[in-house]
Amino acid sequence: MSTQTDLRYPIGKYTPQSSHTAAEISAAIKHISELPLKIETAVSDLTNTQLNTPYREGGWTVRQVVHHVADSHLNAYIRFKWTLTEDTPTIKAYNEKLWAETPDATLPVEVSISLIKALHQKLALLLDSLTPEQLLRSFIHPETQKQVALHNMIALYAWHGMHHTAHITELRKRMNW
């Protein structure tokens, strides 16, 4: 495995499963609810120069990573709501790389941290309320045409938050910040 691969996937790649136990879902929801504090802690006391440092060569800056998490998890929240209120909806995809280049990705990270805090409060409550039947509901991703079950979305977004937090914390370790 190359160094580049390690830096891109500091906690490993996400692998969907055909099912998840109640304990796995509960643990994933706990990770989701803890993300706002973890990401806020990960960027605490960083200077603007540090926030504008890519976590790897050719990668996003720490600032872009934080804004990406807010954008991505906002999209996930909407996908959960569609899937709970529509019959196997086809969700809207978005180009996350281009989103990371829009002007709002230059705002202070506190803007997206505030959004992540509010969003995850709503998201954790919603996810905690899901029944076993609702966890099996799915949407269709337009790019893959695959159905994605909500239990896998919960696991994916728990991983996603830890993945991007690790981009920041691992950079801090490498840079001795």
Single-letter amino acid, residue 103: P
In a domain, 34, yes or no: yes
In a domain, 5, yes or no: no
Calculate the dihedral angle through the C-alpha atoms of 130, 155, 148, 134, rounding to the nearest 10 degrees. Answer: -10
| Tens of pLDDT, residues 155-165 | 999 999 999 99
Output the CA angle 37-41-46, nearest 5 degrees: 145
Which domain range does residue 51 map to?
21-175
Residue labelled with tokens 């690790």: 166
Domains: count for the chain:
1
In a domain, 15, yes or no: no
In a domain, 164, yes or no: yes
- A 10 A CB-CB count for 149 gives 19
Residue 90: strand, helix, or coil: strand
CATH code, 26: 1.20.120.450
| Tens of pLDDT, residues 124-174 | 999 999 999 999 999 999 999 999 999 999 999 999 999 999 999 999 999
> pTM score, two decimals?
0.95
Distance CA 23, CA 144 (A): 29
Angle of the 22-43 helix axis to the 62-85 helix axis, nearest 10: 150
Q: Residue 3 above 60 pLDDT?
A: no
| H or E element in which residue 72 lies | helix 62-85
List the one residue out of 63, 64, 93 whose CA is nearest residue 76: 93
In a domain, 54, yes or no: yes
